């Protein structure tokens, strides 16, 4: 079996961390040991249960309102997505995906030989999923609907009623809904709930990487029915002999302080949303749908500005990194990080303004 390269990740590995103003990241800036007051005795070096550290699963189970048997710890949400898809999709099954999309969510089902159908999230509809389109696209052959909530790249949230309806549509045709919720713990509005709480055909994927600022741990989780968890235990045996225990115990220590970490993330992101909104007011030919939380947002560029060219100019001349929307299959947009220091955002935006001006009158 040959695996196709994931273009976005190839690009990210080439360029991320090399620009002074890195607005390409999707994580809130990394937390320190001091911020989570990590002590050596919290680090557990014993071999954890293959399904994951028992205490960590108990903590997550309580949050999701499910038994610990419905929680499986993974190597980040990436492994979660791979396992959830492997447990759901066979060759030629139909899978519904959103567009714009985070590329691995597209490549993984594709790699399993699924027939992919796209549902379009449009800027002029606030990047929201259109239920009528979804209903038109599902069929008796649909095995999975794979979504992000909050949406990557736009940072908008799917309201709880809509998520429930999506679940009902999926259930009616015998499909599973797999939702990457790696940004959801930083949703500003109340009332949002993880997909897995809406029924046993719904699967939630979570992670320490994004809003908790602990990507180095490579700890994520799947919450789903016992039937799903049983299936993915078998698949897991093909890809890993287990996951490191120490990082799971650090994740546990951090999640015990999740109110502190989430307040930190919210504060950083809200400051940066304000900075971007102020900048947009002064640059009337750019706009966005203000993110509802998470750590990223999508900026709509003026009509004459092509995103790939702009990103290259910003990188090469201004040491500023942004992700062209092209990596998410949308033209005329860039994705901005809202999780970095405000100063980085403000200087990055100033550079963005200069680069857009330069593209408007290239002789300068």
Ligand X SMILES: Cc1ncc(COP(=O)(O)O)c(C=O)c1O
| Binding site residues, ligand X, CB under 6 A | 26, 76-78, 102, 148, 152, 180, 182, 207, 209, 215, 220
**What spatial distance separates the first Cα and last Cα of the chain, rounded to whole Å?**
50
| Least gap, CB of 183 to ligand X (angstroms) | 7
Quick one: 76 or 224, whose CB is closer to ligand X? 76
Quick one: 183 or 288, whose CB is closer to ligand X? 183
Q: Taking CB positions, which residue lies at the least distance from ligand X?
A: 76
Q: Residue 334 is inside which H or E element, if any?
A: strand 333-337
The whole-angstrom separation of Cα 287 and Cα 280 is 6
Quick one: 70 or 73, whose CB is closer to ligand X? 73
CB 299 within 8 A of CB 123: no
| Least gap, CB of 256 to ligand X (angstroms) | 19
Looking up tokens 């502190």, which residue turns up? 260
Q: Helices 103-111 and 7-15, interaxial angle, to 10°?
A: 140
| Least gap, CB of 223 to ligand X (angstroms) | 14
With 0-12 / 13-18 / 19 or more C-beta atoms within 10 angstroms meaning exposed / middle / buried, residue 34 is exposed
Quick one: 155 or 332, whose CB is closer to ligand X? 155
The whole-angstrom separation of Cα 193 and Cα 329 is 28
| Least gap, CB of 170 to ligand X (angstroms) | 19
The whole-angstrom separation of Cα 224 and Cα 204 is 7
| Least gap, CB of 81 to ligand X (angstroms) | 6
The whole-angstrom separation of Cα 193 and Cα 112 is 29
| Least gap, CB of 75 to ligand X (angstroms) | 7
Quick one: 209 or 247, whose CB is closer to ligand X? 209
Using left for φ > 0, alpha for ψ between -120 and 50, and beta otherwise, residue 209 falls in alpha
Quick one: 102 or 333, whose CB is closer to ligand X? 102
């Amino acid at each position: 079996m040959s695996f196709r390269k994931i273009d976005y990740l190839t690009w990210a590995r080439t360029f991320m961390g090399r620009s002074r103003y890195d607005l390409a990241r999707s994580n809130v800036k990394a937390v320190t040991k001091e911020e989570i007051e990590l002590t050596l005795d919290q680090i557990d070096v014993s071999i954890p249960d293959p399904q994951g550290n028992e205490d960590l699963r108990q903590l997550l189970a309580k949050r999701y309102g499910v038994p610990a048997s419905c929680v499986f710890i993974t190597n980040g949400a990436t492994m979660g997505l791979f396992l959830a898809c492997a447990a759901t999709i066979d060759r030629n099954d139909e899978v519904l995906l959103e567009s714009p999309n985070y590329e691995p969510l597209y490549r993984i089902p594709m790699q399993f030989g699924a027939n992919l159908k796209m549902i379009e999230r449009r800027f002029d509809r606030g990047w929201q999923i259109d239920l009528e389109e979804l209903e038109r696209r599902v069929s008796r052959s649909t095995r999975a609907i794979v979504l992000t909530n909050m949406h990557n790249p736009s940072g908008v949230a799917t309201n709880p009623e809509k998520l429930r309806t999506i679940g009902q549509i999926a259930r009616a045709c015998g499909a599973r809904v797999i939702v990457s919720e790696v940004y959801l713990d930083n949703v500003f509005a109340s009332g949002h709930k993880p997909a897995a709480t809406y029924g046993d055909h719904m699967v939630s994927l979570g992670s320490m990487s994004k809003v908790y600022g602990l990507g180095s741990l490579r700890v994520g989780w799947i919450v789903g029915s016992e039937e799903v968890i049983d299936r993915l235990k078998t698949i897991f045996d093909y890809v890993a002999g287990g996951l490191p225990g120490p990082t799971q115990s650090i994740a546990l220590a951090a999640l015990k302080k999740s109110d502190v970490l989430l307040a930190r993330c919210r504060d950083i992101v809200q400051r940066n949303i304000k900075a971007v909104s102020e900048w947009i007011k002064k640059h009337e030919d750019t706009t966005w749908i203000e993110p509802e939380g998470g750590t990223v947002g999508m900026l709509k560029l003026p009509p004459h500005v092509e995103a790939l060219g702009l990103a290259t100019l910003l990188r090469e001349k201004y040491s500023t990194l942004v992700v062209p929307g092209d990596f998410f299959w949308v033209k005329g947009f860039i994705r901005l990080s809202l999780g970095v220091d405000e100063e980085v955002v403000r200087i990055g935006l100033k550079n963005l303004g200069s680069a857009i001006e330069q593209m408007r009158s290239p002789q300068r």
